[in-house]
Amino acid sequence: MPPEITLPDHLRPSDGRFGSGPSKVRNEAVEALTAAAPEYLGTSHRRETVRFVVRRARQGLSELLSLPDGYEVLLGNGGTTAFWDAAAFGLIERRSQHLSFGEFSSKFAAVTRGAPHLDDPDVIESPAGTHPEPRVDASIDTYALTHNETSTGVCMEVRRPEGTDGIVIVDATSAAGGMRVDPGQFDAYYFAPQKCFAGDGGLWIACCSAAAIERIARISASERWLPPSLSLPIALENSRLDQTYNTPALATLFLLAHDVEWMLEQGGLEWAASRCDRSAEILYGWAEASKHATPFVAKPGERSHVSATVDFDDQVDAAAVAATLRANGIVDTEPYRKLGRNQLRIALFPAIAPDDVATLTGAIDYVIERLAR
């Protein structure tokens, strides 16, 4: 049990949620949902009231990510994990290549490895805290990248490998809305609302290029069986009508649309990414100056600006720090459980105020001093 340590008021952030997903939901969005609830929650998702919210989310995302003509925003139920299954059925033709550098990217690789209708994937791994590079290979029709590996706090640039007409599909679950991206570099950029978009889980969203839509149509016309709830042609047909195939969580949709519009009002993706840059500068700057902390990711250019990981030396018990913070209302700074490091992981998503990140670093120092062994 950590000793009782009570943070003084000036070391208490205005909001104590620093988890990497589910992450801080803005109170303004919840208030807007409460105000809209009597006409919105508990109404048919096939009717205009709900479809209007879906349309706002789809159009808002298209604007936020500056999607070129021909790109479409698809959505369905089940979160990113369900999208991996949908992609294994409906986007990968025969063989995918996966850059595997953490828990999430390795999970998608495991999905395609297990899919009986696909060839064994090409999985390129690198140690935790780094990322591998794609290798163009004629047998590959789908390159699976991860914009931000949330489990380790490593980010990578989204770039189409040169010399292939394979499609590029990007897990952007914790990156979309907080990191800059050039849509010309991807064919599917997929994510869920509970990270940068400060919403709730349970939904997947995929921004698809014309090439990805063509791939979906071609596979759909083939012999392959597609389970309806994971069928991308069915998701496409419904998304075009601002609907989902089966009943979605209406609150999730509302929070997503509200947050996307908030970001657009503030200045769009550049605004959001700059705000994350500022939080990252505060956090990594603090870690580099600290006696006990160091950024886990060695290369500064690969350090995530949306989910930061910071290692501690053995004079500090990071788990005790996280527990003490939690007892003071600062929650979810624990590291990704399977990484097994003496570490804190701190989300820097756009909804999280840079000032709160600064206050948090002061709180961590305060706790460390008093826990010192």
Ligand X SMILES: *Cc1c(COP(=O)(O)O)cnc(C)c1O
Which residue's CB is nearer to ligand X, number 19 or number 354?
19
> Any contact of residue 201 with ligand X (CB under 6 A)?
yes
Phi, psi of 144 (to 5 degrees): -105, 110
Q: C-beta of 188: minimal distance to ligand X in Å?
A: 14
Q: How far apart are CA 98 and CA 119, in angstroms?
A: 13
Candidate segments 42-50, 89-97, 169-177, 255-263, binder of ligand X by CB under 6 A: 169-177
DSSP secondary structure, 74-115, as one string:
EEEESHHHHHHHHHHHHT-SS-EEEEE-SHHHHHHHHHHHH-
- Residue 104 makes contact with ligand X by CB under 6 A: yes
Distance between CA atoms of residues 145 and 168, nearest Å: 7
CB of 8: closest distance to ligand X in angstroms? 33
Q: Which is nearer to ligand X, 81 or 342 (CB)?
A: 81
Are 116 and 93 spatial neighbours (Cβ–Cβ below 8 Å)? no
CA–CA gap between residue 104 and residue 95 (Å, rounded): 19
- Select 106 or 239, whichever has its Cβ closest to ligand X: 106
HSE toward the beta carbon, residue 324, CA cutoff 13 A: 25
Say whether residue 152 binds ligand X (CB under 6 A). no
Nearest Cα to 235, choosing from 193, 205, 201, 202? 205
Closest approach of Cβ 115 to ligand X, in Å?
A: 17
Residue from 50, 128, 192, 253 touching ligand X (CB under 6 A): that is 192
Residue 252, interface with ligand X (CB under 6 A)?
no
Of 106, 150, 243, 324, the one binding ligand X by CB under 6 A: 150
Distance CA 194, CA 23 (A): 6
Q: Which is nearer to ligand X, 97 or 146 (CB)?
A: 146
Residue with Cβ nearer ligand X (173 or 359) = 173
Positions in 302-341 near ligand X (CB under 6 A): none
Which residue's Cβ has the minimum distance to ligand X? 79
Mark 21-50 with x for binding to ligand X (rule: CB under 6 A) and - for no binding.
Answer: x-----------------------------
Q: What distance in Å separates the CA atoms of residue 347 and residue 363, rounded to the nearest whole number? A: 16
- Choose the binding region for ligand X from 10-18, 161-169, 171-179, 267-275 (rule: CB under 6 A): 171-179
Q: Which tokens go with 331?
A: 């929650």
Please list, in sequence order, all residues whose beta carbon lies within 8 angstroms of the beta carbon of residue 154, skipping any fewer than 6 positions away.
101, 102, 129, 130, 131, 148, 297, 302, 303, 304
Closest contact distance (angstroms) between CB of 290 and ligand X is 26
Stretch of residues binding ligand X (CB under 6 A), selected from 31-39, 131-139, 170-178, 321-329: 170-178
Of the candidate residues 13, 76, 79, 129, the single one contacting ligand X (CB under 6 A): 79
- Distance in angstroms between the alpha carbons of the first and the last residue of the chain: 14
Q: Kindly state the smallest distance separating residue 147's Cβ from ligand X, in Å.
A: 8
By CB under 6 A, name the one of 174, 209, 324, 343 that touches ligand X.
Answer: 174
Write the CB contacts of 230 (distance below 8 Å, at least 6 apart in sequence).
78, 82, 85, 86, 89, 90
Residue 80 binds to ligand X (criterion: CB under 6 A) = yes
> Which C-beta is closer to ligand X: that of 146 or that of 209?
146
Q: For ligand X, which is the closer residue by CB, 113 or 370?
A: 113
Alpha-carbon distance 191 to 314, whole Å?
36
Question: Measured from the CB of residue 154, what is the shortest distance to ligand X in angstroms?
Answer: 10
Give, in order, the Cα–Cα distances in Å from 353 to each of 146, 334, 363: 25, 19, 15
Residues that bind ligand X in the complex, under the rule CB under 6 A: 21, 79-81, 104, 146, 150, 171, 173-174, 192, 195, 201
